[in-house]
Amino acid sequence: MSAFYRKILLLATLLVLVLFPFGAPGLYSGYYVDLFTKIMIFGIVLLGFDILAGYTGLVSLGHAMFFGLGGYSSAFIIIHLSSNLFVCLIVALLATLVVGLVVGYFSTQTKDIFFVFLTLAFAQFLYLTAFNLTTVTGGDNGLSLPQVTLGIPGLWETLIPRPSGFYYLVLVFLVLSFLYCRRVIKSPFGRVLVGIRENEERVSFLGYNVRLLKIKAFMISAFFAAIAGVLFATYQEFVSPEMLHWSISGDFILMSVLGGMGTLIGPVVGGVILLWGGDVLSSLTENWMIFIGGFFVLMIILAPKGVVGTISDLLNTEKRK
């Protein structure tokens, strides 16, 4: 597909997303605006996650840790300090900076399966902390939080209208995230990340500090997970250890593989398929997970490069003919 058509497709998608809330409740129930808000929040995580897993080749099974960290940070801030979204974001990013550097520093000493399990171990540590530290985190019951506000703290603040106000807020974050991540993968930095994925040793012999670059990629992806966590928690007005659970990290991987790792947009498509498809299927049958699982197995066997990876391969061979 030429760059031109890709751009048209992206803009068309954006247009649909912008117009989407206007269709409710006339064409479809407002429930779908809510669902798509959640899907887009996942999309933000997945964009950042692809930089680490898809482009750098470091598959983390602990990214729920940053999703949850963003969530809990904003919960504490809203409950104890300020209801302002930007204060939440800043604190969440600072917390992620600290936790991300520690986890990134140790995890990037390893690779492959060891990286997978080390990130999982760190995430489980946070999960269990949230679960057991009942006095602070509310434990399994989680924490309910007041509504988040937009604006300048102390001067002018406003609640975010629901559902469409929040929908557009998340959409703005998604678009900015996409633009930033695309910037990253097209930058000199992004090219070296691909080199690390393909042949880490040679990259270091070409004069690049592989370890440092891996930590950078790790931090970038962690930041996006944290931003998404802030949005998720403030949207739901609720956080619980569920957000930190390893199955959320697993979902990130599942969505990425399904959509196509290393294609940036692929994992987001995977997220749409899994969350939307799961929603549709679960309304039809109780055993909807079987169908998701079956679909996943089929995809792995028939199209291991994922939906977007496979389609772009097909279009490329078409062009060469």
Determine which residue in the list 126, 170, 213, 268 makes contact with other proteins, applying CB under 8 A. Answer: 213
Between 292 and 303, CB nearer to other proteins: 303
Max Cα–Cα distance, the chain, nearest Å: 65
In order of 86, 126, 206, 218, the CA distances from 99 in angstroms are 20, 10, 30, 11
Q: What does the alpha-carbon distance between residue 154 and residue 166 come to, in Å, rounded to a whole number?
A: 22
Q: Exposed, middle or buried by CB within 10 Å (0-12, 13-18, 19+), for 250?
A: middle
Determine which residue in the list 175, 194, 292, 311 makes contact with other proteins, applying CB under 8 A. Answer: 194
- 206 near other proteins, judged by CB under 8 A: yes
Determine which residue in the list 3, 4, 19, 207 makes contact with other proteins, applying CB under 8 A. Answer: 207
Give φ, ψ of 279 to 5 degrees: -65, -45
Between 180 and 296, CB nearer to other proteins: 180
Look at residue 110 and give its three-state secondary structure.
Answer: coil
* In the complex, minimum distance from the CB of residue 220 to other proteins, in angstroms, rounded to a whole number: 8
Look at residue 194 and give its three-state secondary structure.
Answer: helix
List, in order, residues 6 or more apart from 243 with CB less than 8 Å away: 64, 67, 68, 71, 72, 229, 232, 233
Contact 177, 224 (CB under 8 A): yes
- 10 near other proteins, judged by CB under 8 A: no
Q: Which of 268, 265, 271 has its CA nearest to residue 251?
A: 271
Determine which residue in the list 26, 135, 188, 301 makes contact with other proteins, applying CB under 8 A. Answer: 188
Chain positions 168 to 187 lying near other proteins, rule: CB under 8 A, are: 183-184, 187
Between 87 and 101, CB nearer to other proteins: 101
Determine which residue in the list 46, 203, 257, 265 makes contact with other proteins, applying CB under 8 A. Answer: 203
Q: What x-and-dash track marks residues 36-55 binding other proteins by CB under 8 A?
A: --------------------
- 261 near other proteins, judged by CB under 8 A: no
Between 154 and 188, CB nearer to other proteins: 188
| Beta-strand relationship, 149-152 and 156-159 | antiparallel
- 26 near other proteins, judged by CB under 8 A: no
List, in order, residues 6 or more apart from 131 with CB less than 8 Å away: 137, 139, 140, 241
Contact 157, 151 (CB under 8 A): yes
Between 184 and 269, CB nearer to other proteins: 184
Q: Which residues of 43-56 are buried (b: 16+ CB within 10 A; e: fewer)?
A: bbbbbbbbbbbbbb
Between 140 and 198, CB nearer to other proteins: 198
* In the complex, minimum distance from the CB of residue 211 to other proteins, in angstroms, rounded to a whole number: 9
Between 208 and 295, CB nearer to other proteins: 208
Determine which residue in the list 125, 208, 246, 276 makes contact with other proteins, applying CB under 8 A. Answer: 208
Question: How many residues of this chain interact with other proteins, rule: CB under 8 A?
Answer: 23
Look at residue 57 and give its three-state secondary structure.
Answer: coil
Binding site for other proteins (CB under 8 A): 183-184, 187-192, 194-195, 198-199, 201-210, 213
